[in-house]
Structure formats: C-alpha cells, structure tokens
C-alpha cells in the first residue's frame, strides 16, 4: 500500500509535548485534570479526549541515568486488533494513507476494540449519570481529515525538533539503514506493520512499548479462529440434523400400531 507513516526519532524528542497540545487543538478535545506522577508526564493516561501522550522514562544504563521520551498513541497497524474485534461493518476502517479510523457515527460502544488493541489505545467515553459522554470509542485518527486536504497530521506539523516526521511508508528501508548506522533500533510493530515507526536508543519497554507486540491471543482465537469455525460448525450441525432425519429418520416408537395413541 502506498501508505504514509509517522516516523518518531526519539533521539530528537525534547519532551516539549507540543504534539499533545496540537492534537487536542486540531481535534477539539477537552482538557483533562492533571495529576502529579513524579515526572513531567501528563495527562495521566490516554482517554477518549486524549489521543496522544509523551512517556517520560528514567532508566539506568551502565550506572548512569538515561532519560527517554516515548509516545503512547495509536500505531495505525496494518494488521489492526481493533478492526479484528469490531463487530460493526464499517465502524473501524483503514484508508489509503494507512490511517485506522473509528467512525463514531457507526460505533455502538461495545468496547471490543478497547480490549483488542495490542497497544491499549482506544478509549471509551462513558455515559455518566449526568448524561455526559457519548457511549463510543475514540482514538487517534492520524488526522485523516487533514491528510485528505493534503496536510500532514497536527502532531508532526507542530513538532519543533523534527522528532515526529510525516513521510512515505516506502522510505522505511532507507530510514532503517541510516538509523542502523546511528546505532538506533527500528520499531515498526513487527508482524503488525505499524504505520507509526519509532527509532529507539534503548529497548522498547524503556519507552513504554511492548517488546513483541501482537494481537492479544484471546482476541486472535476469538475473531480469527473461533468466529469462522463456529459458523462452519453451526452450519454443519444443521446439515447433520437434516441428514439424520433423511437417512435414519425419526424414532417413532408407536409406528408399529399404525396411528399409535391417536385414538
């Protein structure tokens, strides 16, 4: 697919969180109460109204402190767990740019995608006692609306250091080889083939990323194995019953005396 990607060069990130602000501004997302987490990290977590968040990670490397900046956001997988889990036709789609987008007009608020995501990204907007909340799931859209107008996503547009960079997916091999020369690891979600690609100095876990991201095993068993197998089994069961009736026939214990007890 002639897709696009967001390249995140973590060595260039200064933790300014301009991307968080630009994201909220473009998507008209309301503010979230902050909390002291002992770092500069805030808001506390992704939410239905927080699509991205910079992770501040302090790790010890060879007896010295390393301060890493990661980003928690939708990775726009080519093999997307949310899409696998979603039961509504067209509620989660992938466009030509590679953006995985939830259509809230179709979303029914079942929350399957929330639990099907390997990166714990989609968030559900509860309908609370006061009637606020829309009972639907939300996440980063890769600013598909901006892309449609030939613009780049709000986060990459605003990034002052070039840590977030919007480019062609086709350039990944080239970028990977130059990253290797700089001693950086390329993180592209492995088999999930994410359209958000990180260049990492350390291990994925040190940036809050799963080391071996995969569609959760139960979600895979449920949607990829059990769902088609179940349909096949139920259809086979119906034909099995019809076959029994046709070949073996009913076990009519009263057939010996004609109409049996019907006197």
Partner 1 sequence: MAEILVKRASPIQRLSHWMHMVSFIILALSGLGLYARSFFGLTGLFGGVDMSRTIHHYTGIVFFATTFIIFFQWAHAITARGEDSLVDVVRSYLDHDFHAPAGKLNFGQKLFAWFAFFGGLVMGLTGFAMWFPFVLGRGLQQWMYFLHNAFFVGLMLFILVHLYLGTFGNPGSWRIMVSGTVTKAWAKAHHPKWDAEEV
Residues that bind partner 1 (CB under 8 A): 85-89, 108, 110-112, 114-116, 120, 216-219, 221-222, 226-227, 229-231, 233-234, 237-238, 241, 244-245, 248-254, 260-263
| Residue linked to tokens 């892309």 | 147
CB 250, min distance to partner 1, A: 5
- Taking the least distance from each CB to partner 1, the nearer of 149 and 248 is 248
User: Smallest distance from the beta carbon of 202 to partner 1, in angstroms?
Assistant: 25
Between 186 and 214, whose beta carbon lies closer to partner 1? Answer: 214
What is the C-alpha separation between 184 and 186, in angstroms, rounded?
Answer: 7
Q: How far is the CB of 223 from partner 1 (least distance, A)?
A: 8
Burial 59-73 (b: 16+ CB within 10 A, else e): eeeeeeeeebbbbbb
- Report DSSP letters for 35-79, one per residue: ---SSS--SSS-BTTB-EEEEEEEEEETTEEEEEEEEEE---BSS
CA 145 from centre of chain: 18
In angstroms, give the least distance from the CB of 224 to partner 1. Answer: 11
Report in angstroms how near the CB of residue 248 gets to partner 1 at its nearest: 6
Residue whose CB is less far from partner 1, 62 or 246: 246
CB of 103 or CB of 177, closer to partner 1: 103
Least separation, in Å, of the C-beta of 131 and partner 1?
A: 15
Alpha-helical regions (H) of the chain = 18-26, 81-85, 112-116, 144-148, 154-158, 172-181, 217-220, 227-247
Q: Which is nearer to partner 1, 182 or 244 (CB)?
A: 244
- What's the rounded Cα separation, in Å, for the pair 258 and 90? 58
Of residues 88 and 180, the one with the C-beta less far from partner 1: 88
Residues forming beta bridges with residue 101, ordered by sequence position: 93
For the purposes of burial, counting CB atoms within 10 Å of the CB of 44, is it exposed (0-12), middle (13-18) or buried (19 or more)? middle
29 contacts 42 by C-beta, under 8 angstroms: no
Q: How far is the CB of 43 from partner 1 (least distance, A)?
A: 18
Rounded (10°) CA dihedral 62, 164, 84, 219: 20
Q: Within 10 A of 147 (CB to CB), how many other CB atoms are there? A: 19
Q: For residue 92, what are the β-bridge partners?
A: 102
Per the structure block, which two tokens stand in for 50? Answer: 């927080």
- In the complex with partner 1, which residue's Cβ is closer, 160 or 240? 240
By beta-carbon proximity to partner 1, the closer residue of 31 and 253 is: 253
Q: What minimum distance in Å lies between the beta carbon of 102 and partner 1?
A: 15
């Amino acid at each position: 697919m002639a897709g696009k990607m967001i390249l995140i060069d973590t060595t260039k990130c200064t933790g300014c969180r301009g991307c968080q602000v630009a994201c909220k501004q473009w998507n008209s997302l309301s503010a979230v109460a902050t909390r002291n987490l002992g770092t500069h990290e805030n808001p506390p977590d992704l939410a239905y109204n927080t699509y991205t968040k910079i992770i501040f990670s302090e790790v010890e490397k060879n007896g010295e402190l390393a301060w890493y900046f990661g980003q928690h956001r939708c990775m726009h997988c080519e093999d997307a767990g949310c899409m696998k889990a979603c039961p509504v036709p067209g509620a989660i789609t992938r466009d030509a740019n590679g953006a995985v987008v939830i259509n809230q007009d179709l979303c029914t608020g079942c929350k399957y995608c929330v639990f099907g995501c390997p990166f714990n990204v989609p968030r559900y907007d509860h309908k609370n006692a006061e009637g606020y909340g829309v009972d639907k799931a939300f996440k980063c859209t890769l600013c598909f609306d901006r892309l449609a107008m030939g613009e780049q996503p709000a986060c990459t547009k605003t990034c002052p250091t070039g840590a977030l960079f919007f480019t062609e997916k086709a350039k990944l091999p080239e970028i990977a080889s130059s990253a290797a020369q700089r001693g950086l690891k390329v993180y592209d979600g492995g088999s999930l083939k994410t359209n958000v690609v990180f260049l990492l100095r350390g291990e994925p876990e040190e940036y809050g990323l799963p080391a071996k991201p995969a569609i959760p095993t139960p979600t895979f068993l449920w949607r990829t194995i059990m769902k088609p197998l179940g349909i096949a089994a139920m259809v086979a069961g119906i034909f099995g019953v019809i076959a029994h009736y046709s070949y073996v026939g009913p076990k009519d214990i009263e057939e010996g005396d004609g109409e049996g007890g019907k006197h």
